[in-house]
Structure formats: structure tokens, C-alpha cells
Amino acid sequence: IFPWEVEKIRTTCPFCGTGCNFDLNVKDGKVVGVTPNEESPVNGTSLCVKGRFHTDLINSPDRITTPLIKKNGKFVKASWEEALSLVTSKLKSIKDEYGGDAIAGLSSARCVNEDNFVFQKMMRLVFDTNNVDHCARTCHAPTVAGLATTLGSGAMTNSIEEVECNEVLFIIGSNATEAHPIIGNKMKKAAKKGAKLIVIDPRRTELADHATLWLPLNSGTDAALVNGIINIIVNKGWHDKEFIETRCEGFENMWETVKNYTPNIVSKITGISEDILYETAKLYANTKKAGIFYTLGITEHTTGTANVINLANLAMVTGHLGIENAGVNPLRGQNNVQGSCDMGALPNCLPGYREISEPESIKLFEEYWNTKLNPNKGLRIPEMLESSIEEKLKAMYVMGEEPVLTDSDANHVKKALSNLEFLVVQDITLTETAKFADVFLPATCYAEKDGTFTNTERRVQRVRKAVEAPGECRLDWKILCDIAKRLGVKGFDYGNVEEIFNEIREVIPTYKGITYERIDKVGLSWPCLTEDHPGTKFLHKETFPRGKGLMLPVEYEPPAELANEEYPVILTTGRMLYHYNVMTRYSNSLDALRPCELAEINPKDAKDLGVKDNEEIRVTSRRGSIVSKVKITDRVKPGMMFMTFHYKESPVNELTNSAYDPVTKTAEYKVTAVKVEKV
């Protein structure tokens, strides 16, 4: 195919939160390739393997192209009329009999902002419930809670462009080269230019090879480690007294706890020597352009919110906030998880993070939407599952999410889904979750729709329709509006997707100045308050949204499961380069690069087990047992192993623990005690 034979449609990558831009190359109505968009401030001419080679998933033979209804345990094809009549009549009768709170919905970080906005609006206006959540619950909910509490805004403080200009990068619990490859590349470029990388991870990730300091701490000891670093900084007088006095509160309260975390005590808890703790504290505190970067190694713990609060404490103590090339930077997981949160696909927040518990918020949205709203907080995903098992929750509507493979303790998830009276799944393929559905509604993928995604740096970017959807697939927001209208609810008469975006701008002040026209070529990062506002590269320049930054004491708590005689190995989970969650498995090109799980174990453990590379092992936890091929590597320590959650053939979440962060109900995916046997 010659370049002049293809039409190029500019859009945004549907995988990780980096939000790279590229042009979909279209020939004869089919996507035939991808070329980067060099104007993009996010990725320029670079793309990772997923962005570049994924397009065969758009035309995947696994796409479901007609509605399906389950009859006698088997799916049969149905018309849209039949499927939507069944969905509306069944959900209406459940609402009439048990009330709206007997229904719950999962919105999707894989869908555009406009789909998410309509989804939460449907749950609130049509079904009269705040039972709406999405996959942020399994990843960055502690970020939203922790940063909103301390700084007043639960988002990345700085921009992706700045990564290369940091002089110290404090990277904790983030395998950026695989999970956010373009950001990972920028980190490595920074190192090449002379920046110092401090990589804190029990596993020797690829970034650790480029680090000045690698701290292989014991899994789940992050809170103690950060307390120890703050302890050294303050005792050495390396803290920023002026910043603390003028811009923060709570220092004394925090110090009452942190003063007890002496280097000696912290070294014993974390396994990191006192010398390395000292070097880390010195390097981070004494470099002004020093940014903290983290992902799920921080949040997916029973102490997830506390860990995030502690990183904010560290940045405030050193004054590394409100300036360029520094800050606290959560790298959001999925492409639109920031947007899904912004849109209010959360059980405790209306759009724009207006708390349900605040009567003012309810009043505001009742006026916007000319309706009465349910003032009670909704259920979070784990609570929805529990409620189903208790037979209180009767129905769920799942749009573009795969809890059976991605939520912890998968057997519990399956039991909860089986227990529902009615399950609707709206997706592009028959996912493992969809197999439990009563009705399947075929939707469009990102290449077949218009809208916007908001990436990890708060940049709102266009998603554009490049090709027609196959068969009878419909746009997500149109399906939802159809349901609302069939049930006689007003406020869903959108003529096109831009009308939805304009409503978003009306109700979320930080989006007010962003128009489709302004983001035609390059996106804008919120807050963007007026139509002549340039967007915001970094946050908290003069003040924090909550006024003063709040320092809070954080105590170290060990993980919920520790290794013992019966389960002597600690399993930690994460992502790998060639796959993004489970979606990329539908791309034959990407799947061919890594078609199966390769559980990483240390050479010593492999020798003890008598296994070689590519042989099979059985991994068993208190909740389940799975089989996987093995990869022997010293990137994991003896007594530790690593697996991804991409493979339904080796579903690692049958093993993971559903012990939760008490604030957000995010599960402790990062620490599971297991035993390993040769098959």
C-alpha cells in the first residue's frame, strides 16, 4: 500500500493513559495501518508496539455484530428491538419492585468522555441510583482520594512533556517502559541527558537498569520507606521550611508519626540499607527539578490511599510542587480513566468531582438536569459484588469492562455475576464477563466513533471516526440514550456527540474553555476555564485547590497476606509491553508477540522446583489455582514471582487477594501469598 492510497484520520490511542496521537490509515473502508502524528506534544513521531501494530483488532473476527439474548443458557441472535425491549422492561420491573439501588452500572475507561457522561447520567436519571463505578476502582481510586485530600485535585500535577526535563525522577511502583512506554522512553532520555533515576520496586524493572539508585524494597513496605526518607530529610534540615510554612498545614502532626521512622527501623522493615535510604533522601530533597512518578505499585495495596498521601507529604516537605519539572505524577492506567473519573462515573461524585454528600452538589445538578436526584452515595465495585451475593443487588449494566479477568478474587466475581437476576453487557467482543450476561449489546470500538479522551496529564484530545462499524454495532452513547428515551426520561435528545461535550463543558468548570474546534489538532489540559485560556501545563503554581496543602501522618501497615509455610512465595501482578489489559489479545499481531503468560520466577526458586524456561507450573493461593508457563529471571528475587493479568488461559486474578484499601475499596493486587509446584 502506497502512502497516497490511504486516507489519514487523526485520533488518540485507545490503550494506556499516555494518550499518544496517531493517524489511522484507511483504505477501502478498512484501517490498514497507523502513522504517528508529529504535531503531538505527547508522543511526536514515537509510538509503542501496541499503538503501532494493534489495528487488526478493529477488524477482529471475534467482534460481535448483532445483539444477543440468552435463551436456555445459550446466546441467540436478536434484533435491536427485541434486545432493547427486554433490557428496558426487565430493568424497569426491577426498579419498580426493589428500587433503583437494586441496579448498578459499570462505565468504562475504554470509552470516550461523552459515553461515560451519558452512562452516569443514565444511571442517575433513569434508574435513580448512584451505583455507578468503573475500573479506576481497581487502579487509581487511591490517587483520587489521596491527592484530593492533600492537594485538592486527584490528577497528575505536571505534564508528560516535562518528564525529560526533570533532573531527578523518583519512580516508585511504576514499570513505565512496559505500561506507559512513551513516558518510559522520556524517562530514559532524561537519564541520558544526565538526570538521576531513583527506581523503587521489588522487581528489577527495565528502568532499574538505567537508575542511579534502585531500591528493591520488600513488597508492601512503601509507607515505611517514604516515612524513612522524610525522617532523614527533616533531620538533616533538607526540608523547604518556607514552602511548608506558607503553603502547607499539618507538618507538626505528620512529624509526630514520621519522627519514629528512623533509618534503622525503616531499613529493617523495607530491606533497604540505611546508606541507600540516606542517598535517596539527599538526592531527591536537594534537587529542585525532582518529580515523583508512580502507578499501581503504590495504589494497589491495603494502604493505597495512605501511600498516595505519603508521596504528597514528601513533595510538600521538599517544596517540589507548583513548579515545572517536579510534582506528584500518577501515571493513569487506561487511556481514559482520568476522563471517566472527571465525568462522574463514580459512586460518590457527580461530574467534576462534586461530592454526592454535599447538598450543594445535588442541588446544582438537579437544576442542570431539571430532576430529583438520589442523594445517597452509591456502591463501589466490590460492594456491588457483595450486594449481589447477598441478593440485594438484582441487576447490573456493564459497558466495556471485564471484571471477571481484571477484578481480584475472580471466583468471587463470577459467583456475584451468576447471582444477578439480570445482567446486560455492552461491548465489542464476547468477553469473559459477557458470558454471564442475559443480553449482549454490540457496540463500536474507538476507530468507529467520535468523542474525546482525557489522558494522564489531563489533556483532552479528539477521537475520530475512521471507519464504519461492522454489522449492526451501535454507538455506546446512542444505545444508552435509546434506553433512557424508551423509559420516558427527558434529557437524552442529543443530535451528535459534540452536543454531549457541550453539556460536559456546562457542568464541569475545568472543561469550560475546551471546544472541539480548539482541540482539532492538539488537545488542551484542564483546568481550562475560558475559551481564551491556554490550558494548564502544571498545577498548584500559587495555591492548592483546597487552599493549603495538607500533610497527614501515615503509619506503616504490613500487607494483608504474608508468606508462610503453606504459601511461601509472594506473587505480584502487573502489565507487560505487548498487551494492554485484555483488549490487545484480540489483535493477532500483538498476540503473536506474546501469546501466553510467562510467570517470572527467580533462578534459585526454579532450581528448587526443578523447572526450566517454558515449562509449566501450578500456582495456588487461598482462593484459586492456575497453570502457567514459566520464565526464569533474576528480575524477581527468590521467594517472589510476577505474573500479568492479560491471559484468560492463566487468569491470575483467580489468585489475587480482595483485601481492600479501607478508603477506596481498591484491592491489594500487589501482594498475594502463593505456593508453586511443577506440573
**Chain residues in the site for ligand SF4 (CB under 6 A):** 13, 15-16, 18-20, 43, 47-48, 50-51, 180-182, 580
- Quick one: which of 320, 313, 585, 566 has its CA closest to 430? 585
In the bound state with ligand SF4, the residue whose beta carbon lies nearer, of 42 and 217, is 42
Q: How far is the CB of 16 from ligand SF4 (least distance, A)?
A: 3
- Quick one: which of 311, 305, 395, 353 has its CA closest to 92? 395
In the bound state with ligand SF4, the residue whose beta carbon lies nearer, of 442 and 523, is 523
Q: How far is the CB of 22 from ligand SF4 (least distance, A)?
A: 7
Q: How far is the CB of 110 from ligand SF4 (least distance, A)?
A: 12
Q: How far is the CB of 462 from ligand SF4 (least distance, A)?
A: 14
Q: How far is the CB of 12 from ligand SF4 (least distance, A)?
A: 8
In the bound state with ligand SF4, the residue whose beta carbon lies nearer, of 84 and 160, is 160
Residue 436 to residue 417: CA distance in whole angstroms? 7
In the bound state with ligand SF4, the residue whose beta carbon lies nearer, of 441 and 463, is 463
In the bound state with ligand SF4, the residue whose beta carbon lies nearer, of 186 and 394, is 186
In the bound state with ligand SF4, the residue whose beta carbon lies nearer, of 50 and 670, is 50
In the bound state with ligand SF4, the residue whose beta carbon lies nearer, of 354 and 459, is 459
Burial 653-672 (b: 16+ CB within 10 A, else e): bbbbbbbbbebbbbbbbbbb
Beta strand 395-399 with 103-106 is parallel
Query: Is-contact 132 104, C-beta < 8 A?
Result: yes
Residue 319 to residue 617: CA distance in whole angstroms? 48
In the bound state with ligand SF4, the residue whose beta carbon lies nearer, of 112 and 356, is 112
In the bound state with ligand SF4, the residue whose beta carbon lies nearer, of 179 and 224, is 179
Q: Calculate the dihedral angle through the C-alpha atoms of 620, 622, 623, 629, rounding to the nearest 10 degrees.
A: -10
In the bound state with ligand SF4, the residue whose beta carbon lies nearer, of 19 and 152, is 19
Q: How far is the CB of 579 from ligand SF4 (least distance, A)?
A: 10
Q: How far is the CB of 21 from ligand SF4 (least distance, A)?
A: 9
Q: How far is the CB of 644 from ligand SF4 (least distance, A)?
A: 15
Query: Locate cell 498487551: which residue?
Result: 579
Beta strand 616-620 with 625-632 is antiparallel
Residue 120 to residue 130: CA distance in whole angstroms? 8
Element (H, E) at 184: helix 181-192
Residue 137 to residue 130: CA distance in whole angstroms? 15
In the bound state with ligand SF4, the residue whose beta carbon lies nearer, of 166 and 335, is 335
C-alpha cell at 273: 540499607
Residue 247 to residue 319: CA distance in whole angstroms? 9
Query: Is-contact 130 376, C-beta < 8 A?
Result: yes
Omega of the bond leading into 375 within 30 degrees of 0 (cis): no
Give residue number: closest CB to ligand SF4.
51
Residue 322 to residue 541: CA distance in whole angstroms? 4
Residue 114 to residue 338: CA distance in whole angstroms? 13
Query: Locate cell 498545577: which residue?
Result: 539
Beta-bridge partners for 11: 22
Q: How far is the CB of 48 from ligand SF4 (least distance, A)?
A: 3
Element (H, E) at 170: strand 168-172
For residue 521, the SS3 value is coil
Question: What is the DSSP secondary structure assignment for residue 384, as one 8-state letter?
Answer: H
In the bound state with ligand SF4, the residue whose beta carbon lies nearer, of 110 and 665, is 110
Sheet containing strand 451-454, edge to edge, reads 451-454, 459-463, 524-525
Residue 510 to residue 524: CA distance in whole angstroms? 11
Q: How far is the CB of 34 from ligand SF4 (least distance, A)?
A: 9
Q: How far is the CB of 42 from ligand SF4 (least distance, A)?
A: 8
Q: Which residues lie below 8 Å from residue 438, measured CB to CB, with a gap of 6+?
A: 69, 70, 86, 90, 422, 423, 424
Q: How far is the CB of 634 from ligand SF4 (least distance, A)?
A: 27
In the bound state with ligand SF4, the residue whose beta carbon lies nearer, of 380 and 458, is 458
Query: Is-contact 291 169, C-beta < 8 A?
Result: yes
In the bound state with ligand SF4, the residue whose beta carbon lies nearer, of 52 and 95, is 52
C-alpha cell at 326: 517536579
Kindly report the number of other CB atoms within 10 A of residue 412's CB atom: 19
Q: How far is the CB of 525 from ligand SF4 (least distance, A)?
A: 16
Q: How far is the CB of 331 from ligand SF4 (least distance, A)?
A: 10
Kindly report the number of other CB atoms within 10 A of residue 414's CB atom: 19
